[in-house]
């Protein structure tokens, strides 16, 4: 039985040539949040068992995943930055975009709560208070979907965090799990997708301090990389994966994935968005 797995670019380079020549597979460019949450480890075997198609996931920030897909390095793009996804399709890099699932972002912080934001559900007001207090804030700073969403919220708050870079605002340039590790170690506030936070094993005495604002909504989309632009794209197998993710079976698999009894992602498949 073929089992899908998360495959890093470095690991891929170490595989012997032809190791998987007789086994159908696709490459999905996706995000660290889907990897860190354990979602793919849970649901991809169900697709592979039914289709015989192995799914190799390259898990990076959304911005890098999109760049990789623009270069034709993958068959499917599965990320969470809708404006960038729509631009990807508009530029002809993808065939069409589909909503597939959602969750939300949260801000976590130390028990000392130096900016006094615990319990707030207005994320813009909370970020304003954090900036005014010059309280430590750890940002991914990696052009990921989470980082893109965070910067839009700072902009709405009228704060230029880049001006404080290296001071109270620290950019890790890392994935969500690594940024949580860094941020908790320095007593900083951190914006995380809820799924990674629930799955994160090094919470220490940290807790969610800001949540519940509709502006923290986090939508994921899935796109077939355009085979007309990139002839190497395995369009049939890639589309089979997309169809499965959008099907009742795939949507139920997403809904069934839980950590400590908590559902991490909520299916909301739609038709084509473009």
User: Is residue 274 included in any domain, yes or no?
Assistant: no
End position of a domain, from candidates 216, 237, 257? 216
Domain identity same for 208 and 244: no
pLDDT at residue 272, as a whole number = 60
Domain identity same for 246 and 145: no
Domain identity same for 138 and 201: yes
Contacts of 18 (CB under 8 A, 6+ apart): none
Task: Name which of 162, 207, 212, 175 is nearest 189 in CA terms.
Answer: 207
Domain identity same for 113 and 155: yes
pLDDT tens across 167-220, in order? Answer: 999 999 999 999 999 999 999 999 999 999 999 998 999 999 999 999 999 999
pLDDT at residue 20, as a whole number = 44
Domain identity same for 54 and 97: yes
Domain identity same for 61 and 121: no
Range of the domain at 178: 104-216
pLDDT at residue 2, as a whole number = 42
Domain identity same for 109 and 96: no
pLDDT tens across 53-84, in order? Answer: 999 999 999 999 999 999 999 999 999 999 99
Q: How confident is the model at residue 36 (pLDDT cuts 50, 70, 90)?
A: confident
Beta carbons of 256 and 101 less than 8 angstroms apart: no
Q: How confident is the model at residue 271 (pLDDT cuts 50, 70, 90)?
A: low
Domain identity same for 97 and 156: no
Beta carbons of 238 and 230 less than 8 angstroms apart: no
Note the pTM of the prediction, 2 decimals: 0.86
Q: What is the CATH number of the domain that holds 70?
A: 3.40.190.10
pLDDT at residue 247, as a whole number = 98
- How much helix, strand and coil, in percent to the nearest 5, is found in the chain? 40, 25, 35
Using the predicted structure, report yes or no on whether residue 108 has a pLDDT greater than 50: yes
Higher pLDDT, 114 or 4: 114
Separation CA 130–CA 149 (nearest Å)? 17
């Amino acid at each position: 039985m073929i089992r899908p797995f998360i495959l890093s670019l470095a690991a891929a380079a170490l595989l012997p040539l032809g190791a998987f020549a007789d086994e159908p597979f696709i490459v999905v460019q996706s995000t660290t949040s889907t990897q860190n949450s354990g979602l793919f480890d849970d649901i991809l075997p169900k697709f592979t068992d039914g289709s015989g198609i192995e799914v190799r996931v390259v898990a990076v920030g959304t911005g890098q995943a999109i760049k990789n897909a623009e270069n034709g390095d993958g068959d499917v793009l599965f990320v969470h930055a809708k404006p960038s996804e729509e631009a990807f399709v508009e530029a002809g890099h993808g065939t069409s975009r589909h909503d597939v699932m959602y969750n939300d972002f949260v801000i976590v912080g130390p028990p000392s709560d130096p900016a006094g934001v615990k319990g707030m559900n207005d994320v813009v007001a909370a970020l304003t208070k954090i900036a005014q207090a010059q309280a430590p804030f750890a940002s991914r700073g990696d052009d990921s979907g989470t980082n893109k969403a965070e910067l839009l919220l700072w902009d709405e708050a009228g704060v230029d965090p880049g001006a404080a870079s290296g001071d109270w605002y620290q950019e890790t340039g890392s994935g969500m799990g690594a940024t949580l590790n860094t941020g908790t170690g320095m007593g900083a506030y951190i914006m995380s997708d809820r799924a990674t936070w629930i799955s994160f094993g090094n919470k220490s005495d940290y807790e969610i301090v800001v949540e519940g604002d509709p502006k923290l909504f986090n939508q994921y989309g899935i796109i077939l990389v355009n085979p007309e632009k990139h002839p190497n794209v395995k369009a049939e197998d890639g589309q089979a994966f997309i169809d499965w993710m959008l099907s009742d079976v795939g949507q139920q698999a997403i809904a069934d994935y839980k950590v400590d009894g908590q559902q991490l992602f909520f299916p909301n498949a739609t038709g084509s968005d473009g």
